[in-house]
């Protein structure tokens, strides 16, 4: 019964389309049997009236299997034939499944689509014959039309008046649908899928629902196939020994969250919504809990709150009270106050958040009011809890029990930005768009204004007429449905605005503090509230105009945090929501930064990315590491942060406890400039003699600052000779047995150098 749901869907299509087989395209539309689904310029699918056809790049025509499209000649070519190409036809919208009636089988549990017949299968379960009032054959595998008899010897259906027909194969039935049916809980218990579906992990790490029972989850984490088939990602098909079906797209799993009475807030599974002091909802970390009248604490089910003793009373004794933590607010939440939390004279966080300092001393925003800033300067916890950095949790100070997981901080933003000021006193962070509120003040739409500073230009986000929400550029606000609709007919949830920022909140001037920036590498940076993304085609860094963005694999685009790049459609998806993806902009070269050689003195220099070290001769040599440590023997060097151990011939770095992290020493080479080496046949790309040519794309090269280096498969990094690229760990590892210190550290499996050393 592994392919039960697939064959059930096929049987439904037979019933709906008058028993005519159909091909389901990836977007859910249908083509006739023997056709091929081809994507159109709009992203939808049309039908090529040829089997296994070649879809032409003009999105209008197709060619025969085994030929290629010649757009200039408008023909289908191979070595032996030249045929006219074929025009595609529109696909059909499938009928709604719920509108198809069902035939209940004799066991009362299985059902078949309307105009089919229940027939018993060899294993005793029930299958569906795709014919109305059919004759079930004795082999329990085949069936024949009404008024005929089964001829099992010749595999025919015999009629005294109409002659003979081929037998029909039965397909499995599906379990009868019931109201309030069972659900499938995803691993970790955070989501549920309908009965008959399979939980499959998505690129975000969350689980989605595959519409097949016991399905195969494909490796791209986006599609799935029926059981007993394999995913063919190249052809986007599910392959078995006798059938081919298109890949199915997963749908988001339903969270097991508890919805609070305000319909805007939610709490995790097995917790209880309780009103807080400010009127908003918090979460008590236990199911069916008793909310105490102080609006701060809660007690287990069946107990009463004793606020004087801070205990929960029951017939079985006393227990300590639990502290509530803030509920999660849905995206349609409307802030009650339009204001900002000032961290200092030039930096602020949005209302309802808390300013916390980062490791480098800059400000960040914890997404909770009156939060506790953890000592690691990276995380934060709800008010009246304690950071437990060892366990990664926020604990109740009285009982020590974990109430929530640590939260990551978000970047703070400047009070004023010259790039996108709303008026003389109000501004929005980064590439956000200025929108008016109901009070006439300014708020910030967290969607990019491509031409920041131009309040009337057509490239900015759309401010909705309710004066509360906004939509992406190119969409229309649908106030009734609370969505952003685009001309193609798709829609995404609209976005609430954030408070505008006022530099006049304090006496300090925002211009006195230089704007923050994101460093992509030591020589390249992107503006604050943007993300560094590597552009594969140019081999350089680019800037995505979104904070903490997802860099798409095409090297040219990016998506908002939490979204997935859909390279086929050129969009960003998150569950059922879809937004256009964003083009990157060129990164900024730091003032004074240069890719030229590193000067040792007026006469000597080393290649970029290396370090000048003295040789025994008194001349300068070059260590092929950035900011390296020059060893006392004047022959070797070690990575930054390591020390030279001349007795063992290793580079040592103290780690936790008495253990040492060791790496082999690197030999210093003479510092004469040498002759540039050609990377490609034309000599268009060259690298210094002591560096290694590495490809950044099929046609472009860059220079790794080490001789005879290993070029990593990500086309971004390289490792010294003798090391291997370890992309998962983000560094260069050396196989066991190849380092000098093997005798001294027999328990160590391999040496490891982080990228960039």
Span between the terminal Cα atoms of the chain, in Å: 55
Q: Say which CATH class 516-589 falls into.
A: mainly beta
Q: Which numeric CATH code is attached to 258-329?
A: 2.10.25
Rounded Cα gap, residues 494 and 251, in angstroms: 20
Q: Which long-range contacts (CB under 8 A, 24 or more apart) does 356-360 make?
A: 356/380, 356/409, 358/409
- Enumerate the domain spans of the chain: 18-90, 97-175, 183-255, 258-329, 516-589, 598-754
| Three-state secondary structure of 432-465 | CEEEECCCCCEEEECCCCCCCCCCCCCCCCEECC
Distance CA 148, CA 138 (A): 14
User: What b/e string do you get for 160-178 counting C-beta neighbours within 10 Å, with b at 16 or more?
Assistant: eeeeeeebbebbbbbbeee
Q: Are 488 and 42 in contact (CB under 8 A)?
A: yes
Is 258-329 in the same CATH topology as 183-255? yes
Q: How far apart are CA 90 and CA 49, in angstroms?
A: 10
Domain with residues 18-90, CATH architecture? Ribbon (2.10)
Could you count the other beta carbons within 10 Å of the beta carbon of residue 181?
A: 11
Work out whether the CA dihedral 275, 294, 269, 350 comes out positive or negative: positive
**pLDDT, mean of each 10-residue run, the chain (757 residues):** 35 35 68 84 82 87 87 82 79 47 78 79 82 86 84 81 58 49 60 74 79 81 81 79 54 64 77 84 82 86 84 69 53 36 71 79 78 84 82 77 58 46 70 78 70 44 83 81 73 58 32 52 72 75 78 80 78 64 52 58 75 86 80 84 81 55 52 61 72 79 78 82 79 54 30 55
pLDDT of residue 245: 52
Distance of CA 729 to the CA centre of its chain: 19
Among residues 512, 515, 511, 508, the alpha carbon closest in space to that of 343 is found at 508
Q: Which fold has domain 183-255?
A: Laminin (2.10.25)
DSSP state of 723: -
- Angstrom distance (rounded) from CA 747 to CA 733: 16
Question: Is the full-model pTM beyond 0.85?
Answer: no
pLDDT at 318: 59
Q: What is the torsional sign of CA 697, 701, 704, 710?
A: positive
The CA-atom distances, in angstroms, between 426 and each of 98, 321, 341, 586 are 52, 44, 14, 28
The secondary structure of 539-583 as a DSSP string is TEEEEESSTTPEEPTTSSEEE-TT-EEETTTTEEEETTEEEE-EE
Answer for the pair 250, 220: CB distance below 8 angstroms, yes or no. Answer: no
Q: Minimal CA–CA distance to 544: which of 561, 562, 532? A: 532
Return the pLDDT at 64: 85
């Amino acid at each position: 019964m592994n392919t039960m749901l697939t064959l059930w869907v096929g049987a439904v299509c037979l019933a709906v389309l008058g028993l005519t087989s159909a091909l389901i395209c990836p977007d859910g539309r249908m083509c006739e049997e023997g056709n091929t689904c081809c994507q159109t310029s709009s992203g939808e699918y049309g039908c090529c009236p040829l089997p296994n056809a070649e879809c032409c790049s003009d999105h209008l025509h197709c060619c025969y299997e085994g030929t290629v499209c010649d757009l200039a000649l408008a023909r289908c070519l191979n070595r032996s034939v030249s045929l006219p190409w074929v025009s595609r036809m529109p696909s059909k919208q499938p009928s709604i499944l719920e509108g198809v009636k069902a035939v209940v089988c004799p066991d009362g549990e299985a059902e078949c689509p309307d105009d089919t017949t229940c027939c018993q299968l060899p294993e005793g379960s029930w299958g569906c014959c795709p014919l109305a009032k059919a004759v079930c054959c004795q082999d329990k595998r085949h069936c024949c039309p009404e008024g005929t008899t089964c001829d099992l010897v010749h595999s025919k259906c015999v009629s005294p008046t109409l002659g003979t027909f081929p037998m029909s194969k039965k397909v499995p039935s599906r379990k009868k649908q019931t109201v309030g049916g069972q659900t499938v809980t995803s691993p970790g218990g955070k989501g549920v899928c309908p009965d008959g579906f399979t939980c499959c992990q998505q690129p975000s790490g969350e689980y989605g629902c595959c519409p097949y029972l016991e399905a195969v989850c494909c490796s791209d984490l986006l599609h799935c196939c029926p059981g007993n088939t394999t995913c063919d990602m190249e052809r986007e098909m599910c392959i078995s020994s006798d059938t081919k079906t298109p890949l199915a797209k997963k749908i988001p799993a339903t969270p097991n969250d508890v919805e609070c009475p305000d319909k805007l807030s939610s709490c995790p599974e097995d917790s209880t919504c309780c009103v807080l002091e400010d009127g908003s909802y918090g979460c008590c970390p236990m199911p069916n809990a008793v909310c105490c009248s102080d609006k701060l604490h809660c007690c287990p089910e069946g107990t009463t709150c004793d606020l004087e003793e801070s205990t929960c009373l029951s017939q079985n004794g006393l227990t300590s009270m639990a502290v509530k933590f803030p509920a999660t607010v849905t995206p349609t939440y409307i802030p009650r106050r339009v204001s900002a939390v000032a961290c200092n004279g030039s930096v602020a966080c949005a209302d309802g958040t808390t300013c916390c300092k980062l490791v480098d001393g800059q400000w960040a925003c914890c997404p909770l009011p009156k939060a506790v800033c953890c000592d690691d300067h990276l995380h934060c916890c709800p008010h009246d809890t304690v950071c437990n950095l060892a366990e990664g949790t926020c604990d109740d100070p009285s009982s020590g029990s974990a109430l929530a997981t640590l939260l990551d901080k978000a970047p703070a933003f400047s009070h004023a930005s010259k790039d996108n000021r709303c008026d003389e006193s109000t501004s929005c962070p980064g590439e956000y768009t200025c929108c008016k509120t109901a009070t006439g003040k300014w708020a910030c739409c967290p969607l990019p204004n491509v031409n920041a500073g131009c309040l009337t230009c057509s490239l900015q986000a759309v401010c909705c007429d309710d004066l509360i929400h906004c939509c992406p550029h190119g969409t229309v606000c649908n106030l009734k449905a609370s969505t952003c609709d685009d001309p193609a007919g798709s829609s995404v949830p609209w976005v609430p605005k954030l408070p505008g920022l006022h530099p006049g909140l304090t006496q300090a001037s925002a211009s006195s503090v230089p704007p923050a920036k994101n460093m992509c590498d030591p020589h390249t940076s992107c503006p604050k509230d943007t993300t560094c993304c590597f552009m594969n085609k140019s081999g350089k860094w680019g800037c995505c105009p979104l904070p903490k963005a997802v860099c798409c694999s095409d090297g040219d685009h990016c998506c908002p945090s939490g979204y997935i790049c859909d390279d086929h459609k050129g969009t960003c998806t998150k569950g059922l929501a879809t937004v256009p993806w964003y083009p990157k902009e060129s990164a900024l070269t730091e003032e004074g930064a240069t890719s030229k050689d590193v000067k040792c003195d007026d006469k000597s220099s080393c290649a970029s990315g290396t370090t000048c070290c003295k040789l025994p001769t008194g001349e300068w040599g070059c260590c092929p590491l950035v900011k390296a440590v020059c060893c006392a023997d004047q022959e070797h060097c070690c990575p930054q942060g390591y020390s030279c151990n001349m007795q063992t011939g290793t580079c040592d770095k103290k780690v936790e406890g008495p253990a040492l992290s060791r790496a082999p020493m690197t030999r210093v080479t003479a510092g004469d400039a040498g002759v540039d080496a050609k990377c490609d046949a034309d000599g268009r790309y060259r690298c210094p003699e002591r560096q290694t040519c590495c490809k950044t794309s099929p046609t472009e090269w860059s220079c790794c600052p080490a001789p005879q280096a290993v070029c990593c498969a990500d086309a971004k990094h390289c490792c010294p000779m003798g090391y291997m690229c370890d992309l998962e760990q983000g560094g260069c590892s050396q196989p066991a047995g190849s380092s000098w210190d093997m005798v001294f550290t027999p328990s160590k499996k391999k040496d490891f150098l982080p990228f960039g050393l």
